[in-house]
Amino acid sequence: MTFPDITADLAARMPGLRGRLLANQELAPFTWLRVGGPAQALFTPADTEDLAYFLKHLPADIPVMVIGLASNMIIRDGGIPGVVIRFSPRAFGQIAIEDGHRIRAGAFAADRKVAIEAANAGIGGLEFLFGIPGSIGGALRMNAGTRSNTNPEIEGETRERFVSATAVTRAGDIVSLTPDDMKFAYRTCGVPADTIFTEAVFQGFACPVDEVQAINARVQEHREKDQETKVRTAGSTFKNPPGHSSWRLIRDAGGLDLRVGQAEMSKKHANFLIAHEGASAADIEGLGEEIRALVKASSGVELEWEVKRVGVA
């Protein structure tokens, strides 16, 4: 699948652009599931001002979406029309320790790296990020968090540590966001979908370095015990419906035996789906939809996708 090349026209409208704009770029290698078609145009901004300039000059009818580390995303096989924005670690991956046990992180900083830097600086409270394989931008959008039935010290959610964020709106304005602006809820936030986070500040607390490092290690142990860590997944496929666990609903509905093409449900964690070599996005999404139908028929509960499905089939 190839889209018409819109990059020459866009570049002509934006003589001051400093970032890189490329046509028909494959996205699958950037994703955890390793599936999906290309971006019609892929833009890598030089910095926040460059991103704002780009969005200000981008015609309003061209859709824009941002991807982080694509650990919570199925990109469909036909790819993504319009512009996909993906940051570079050099421009948006910085992490800085600030006074008062605060940590400032670029939107493309890996969650795990933020947890490591916090630990090295003797800052507690961000250990929950250690086991989440996404970026800070994705953590803000998804209100990413870690839950454990057995060990409360490894639990936490992005909203609990959030102080402020910088973002660029679709109109190209650079804005500062407070906790109220974020409207965090379970695995989502209320900021308009086309607003792009560029950095955030989090509040931790003083804690001895070896204690924070030990909690990070326990986060890792918890993951390895209960989750698939060595295969291609997108983490929890569905949100937990109020009063239910998705994995239990899927198991009780007999979903563990389902397979579509090269995609199947995990036997270790029933809410994870696994993409085997050769799986297509259609296999993975098709499996998810079969699971939803099965659970609805057996329990009456409608599962809601936690994984974002983007692009065209």
Q: Taking CB under 6 A as the rule, does residue 112 contact ligand FAD?
A: no
284 binds ligand FAD (CB under 6 A): no
Q: How far is the CB of 70 from ligand FAD (least distance, A)?
A: 4
Cβ proximity to ligand FAD: between 228 and 252 the closer is 228
Q: Which of residues 132 and 249 has its CB atom nearest to ligand FAD in the complex?
A: 132
Q: Which stretch binds ligand FAD (CB under 6 A): 2-10, 125-133, 169-177, 256-264?
A: 125-133
Residue 210 Cβ, how far from ligand FAD at the closest point, in Å? 24
75 is a site residue for ligand FAD (CB under 6 A): no
Does 103 sit near ligand FAD (CB under 6 A)? no
* Cβ-based nearer residue to ligand FAD, 124 or 134: 134
Identify the residue among 107, 215, 250, 274 touching ligand FAD (CB under 6 A): 107
Look up 236 and say whether it is catalytic. yes
Residue 156 makes CB contacts below 8 A (sequence gap 6+) with: 125, 126, 127, 128, 129, 145, 146
Minimal CB distance residue for ligand FAD: 138
Q: Does 271 bind ligand FAD (CB under 6 A)?
A: no
Binders of ligand FAD in range 13-52 (CB under 6 A): 32
Q: Which of 142, 279, 281, 284 binds ligand FAD (CB under 6 A)?
A: 142
For this structure, is 187 an active site residue? Answer: yes
Which active-site residues does the annotation give?
187, 236, 306
Q: Which residues bind ligand FAD (CB under 6 A)?
A: 32, 65-73, 107, 131-135, 137-139, 141-142, 144-146, 196-197, 233-235, 308
